[in-house]
Structure 1
């Protein structure tokens, strides 16, 4: 009596040396059915056991030609290659291999730690690159703002007043900041105001010896 239904079996974990000399443990599951009961009984002694042994050797042979990165990322293509190879090899036994799936890939603990450290280093490198790009964009924006303010004295004065307003909102007890002497030229009265070069010399001396400040207290 031959069961014609689809049957599945697990391929035990196989220790495999990948093409880049990394030892991994891989297991799989295989789904097959009997396509020709007469051939399955007459051409092979035990079609089930023979298919299991062939699946294990095929798994080792296929994965031995792959790098570790391919084993981890190309499971679907590896499963398809195994299914085609097994189906072709078991056809004379009256067996039809319908599907093969890679279940698990186990890496050595040391390799897992090394890969985790490499991934962490890559993340830190990307974070530094992003931060550097942000600083570069901020520097360009500041330069553009400085160029605009240099071309517009009114904008510079407004920015100055905005900064003072921000400082005043910080609940400081006292704020002292310098004010250019030119602000007071209209309020300074001289009994004998100098003219020409004498006037310029007087203003320069006042700028040197006097530094008026504005003190704001809450």
Structure 2
């Protein structure tokens, strides 16, 4: 009899412990920046979090956790032709934020991967509509156009595109050399123009000075004396001045 009571006691003890662990297994901790979608028998019933939440074991399930923080998505476009038929490789980065976790879990299987693919295809489309010089000199404007187009695509997924930045534009080495020579030629042209302008201005001032000296002999004499003084200031120079008696 005592043995039967002991077995019964152990059975109910193990059963109670099992039920306690079963109940405690439904406790989850969700971080401040996360939200947890709840599926009850496969049906979406809502979001929970942050903090300590409870789900019904074996009935409720959390398929994933949605982060509400801004996320960075690097992407690139390899060997894409610009409007003027120049092959370029463009590296960019996109900053996105989930603003509607319910859409992000129900309307798209993987919002991160989908946003990445949308960014890559949009980058190729935009590059094909602009010329190389515009891509190189107006990166910020190109990034703004990319952000606007991608944001329209991801809006139905509950994703907000904060910004898109062009990190690097890689062009063929032959074209880089040609652009370098062109830039060097442009710098030389600007230098020659600047020198010519300086000579023209100097000649114009000399003409005005000659006209002044022609009208005012005293000014010419003062200029002559100043030139003699400047020559005498040079080291190792002896100056002889003959003054008529």
TM-score, scaled relative to structure 1: 0.70
Which residues in structure 2 correspond to 1:56-205 (within 5 Å)? 56-164=120-228, 166-167=230-231, 171=236
Is 1:22 paired with 2:58? no
Contact 1:32 1:97 in 2 (8 A): yes
Q: Shift of residue 84 of structure 1? A: 1.8
- Cα 1:157–1:17 change in 2 (3 A) is same
Instruction: Output one character per residue of 1:149-193: Cα deviation in whole Å (capped at 9) or x when no partner.
Output: 22233444444455455555654578699x9xxx68xxxxxxxxx
Deviation at 1:17, TM superposition (A): 0.8
TM-score normalised by the chain length of structure 2: 0.63
Aligned match of 1:196: none
What residue is the counterpart of 1:32 in the other structure?
96
Separation (CA, whole Å) in 2 of partners of 1:168 and 1:7: 74
RCO (CA 8 Å, sep 6+): is it higher in 1 or 2? Answer: 1
SS at match of 1:102: strand
- Give the whole-Å Cα distance in 1 for the aligned partners of 2:94 and 2:226: 73
**Which of the pair is proportionally richer in helix?**
1
**Equivalents in 1 of 2:138, 2:148: separation in Å?**
16
- Aligned residue pairs total 180
Higher strand share: 2
**How much is the aligned-residue C-alpha RMSD, in angstroms?**
2.7
Q: Compared with structure 1, are the counterparts of its residues 39 and 145 closer, same or farther at alpha carbon in structure 2 (3 Å cutoff)?
A: closer
Distance 1:89 1:166, change over 3 A: closer
Could you tell me whether the CA contact under 8 Å between 1:24 and 1:106 is conserved in 2? yes
Per-residue CA deviations over 1:39-80 (Å, capped at 9, x if unaligned) read 333332222222211111111111211111211122222222
Please, which moves more after superposition, 29-38 or 164-173? Answer: 164-173
Which moved further from structure 2: 87-96 or 21-30?
87-96
* Distance (Å, rounded) in 1 between the aligned partners of 2:224 and 2:231: 11
The unaligned stretches of length 5 or more in structure 2 are: 1-63
State which drifts further: 93-102 or 154-163: 154-163
**Contact 2:89–2:171 (CA under 8 A) maintained in structure 1:** yes
Whole-angstrom CA distance in 2 between matches of 1:74 and 1:36: 32
Distance 2:196 2:105 in 1: 71
